[in-house]
Amino acid sequence: MELWFQNYFDDGVVFVVKNIFIGSKSGTDPAQIAQRIEIQLRLEKELIHPNISFRYIEIQPPGNLNRDLMIEERRQVEYALENNFTIGFEFPHIWSGRDIDPCVVERSEDILEIAQIARNVGASYIFINPGDIGDSNFNIQRWNNAKEAHLNILQQIKEIHPVVGIENTNPIRHLESRKVYGFFGMFPDDLFLFDFVVLDIAHAQFTVNHFQAQEKISSIFALEQIHNRWKLNLHDYTAILKDKIQVVHVANAVGLGDLDKEGLVMSEGEADCNVFITDILKNRSTPIRFVAEPSNIPYGIDFHALGDIMYSEEKEIFSACLAGLK
């Protein structure tokens, strides 16, 4: 059970502290989920704080979701729930993002099926990734169409699962054509339309970098005109969204959206993740969840070595949270 507030006494003074959950990302492989659960319980024994819980994992199935695998996954999730874990669930990207037409409109039935699976496995919340709004052919009508499509599909999902959110995305530069594609949900102003926001630090940093780049990209700067925003920084996300941010994906990034520059550990990218976490915790009145999401790791890395990376990143998040609570 999640507690929204707890009161503590310090020299006779009552003050309110926020509830913080620190967890890690997992695929649907039952062995991987089991490893993540083990890591979380290990951290709980080593890093003790009355307001921070490590009983939390977030699961993302692959795009070619294997429903039989989900049955095996459910056994691990049930074990986690029996041990008072909070479970988050991210929709597979192939079913929830990258292209408005096939993913949000034509494949809405697939999305709703996934929502039902998430509910069946006991997820506390679920969220989608926004879809494509085009490159140089971008116009305000496409942005409005994207907005309405996302509002519509999230409302449909809510009829199945009551707690549903949206993750911020970022411009993506095509490796061959070098065109930059814009996405609905890059801007904090886009995300303000929704009550439950998953804020990815790496995605936000990529978007900020595009604003600061000398090369002007038509789709990105057309969006600037919509939002009347000619400058953007990481602080804008926390200042505008505030407590709408319910989950933070903690990973770093460098550059303008190349996939090999995303998912860096906290200390290696251009974002100051420690400052960002402090910003999130400042004057907060609702719980917050942090998910360690380092994905830029050497190909073929040992399964246990990946767990060690997750473990180290969560310790870094814990330290940043302690600083933010002071």
Grade residue 18 by pLDDT with cuts at 50, 70 and 90.
very low
The pTM score is 0.86
Alpha-carbon distance 143 to 164, whole Å?
21
Distance of CA 179 to the CA centre of its chain: 25
Alpha-carbon distance 200 to 242, whole Å?
14
Q: Among 3.30.350.10, 3.30.420.130, 3.20.20.150, 1.10.3470.10, what is the CATH number of 20-325?
A: 3.20.20.150
Position 45: which residue type?
K
Query: Which of 109-118, 120-129, 265-274 has the lowest average pLDDT?
Result: 109-118
Sign of the Cα torsion 202, 164, 144, 61 reads positive
Distances 174 to 122, 134, 177 between C-alpha atoms, Å: 37, 12, 6
Provide the total of helices (H) and of strands (E) in the chain, helices listed first.
11, 16
pLDDT in tens, 161-184: 999 999 998 877 666 666 667 777
Asked if residue 165 lies in contact with residue 127, where contact means CB atoms within 8 angstroms, the answer is yes
Q: Has residue 103 got a pLDDT over 60?
A: no
> What percentage of the chain carries pLDDT values higher than 70?
70
Alpha-carbon distance 301 to 281, whole Å?
34
- Give CA angle at 325 (319, 326), nearest 5°: 100
Q: Which two tokens stand for residue 276?
A: 């960002």
Asked if residue 251 lies in contact with residue 232, where contact means CB atoms within 8 angstroms, the answer is no
Q: Has residue 214 got a pLDDT over 80?
A: no
Alpha-carbon distance 103 to 227, whole Å?
25
Half-sphere exposure of 90 (CA within 13 A, CB side): 29
Torsion from C-alpha of 218, 258, 28, 106, nearest 10 degrees: 30
Asked if residue 237 lies in contact with residue 188, where contact means CB atoms within 8 angstroms, the answer is yes
Give the closest residue to 24 by CA, choosing from 321, 288, 312, 324: 312
Structural domain boundaries in the chain = 20-325
**Which residues on neighbouring strands pair with residue 14, listed in sequence order?**
9
Query: Which of 59-63, 158-162, 202-206 has the lowest average pLDDT?
Result: 59-63
Asked if residue 244 lies in contact with residue 195, where contact means CB atoms within 8 angstroms, the answer is yes
Distances 31 to 39, 42, 81, 159, 307 between C-alpha atoms, Å: 12, 16, 16, 32, 12
More confident residue, 229 or 118: 118
Average pLDDT over the chain reads 78
Q: Which two tokens stand for residue 157?
A: 């999902």
DSSP for 146-198, please give it.
HHHHHHHHHHHHHTT-S-EEEE----EE-TTT--EEEETTSSHHHHTTSSSEE
End-to-end CA distance of the chain: 26
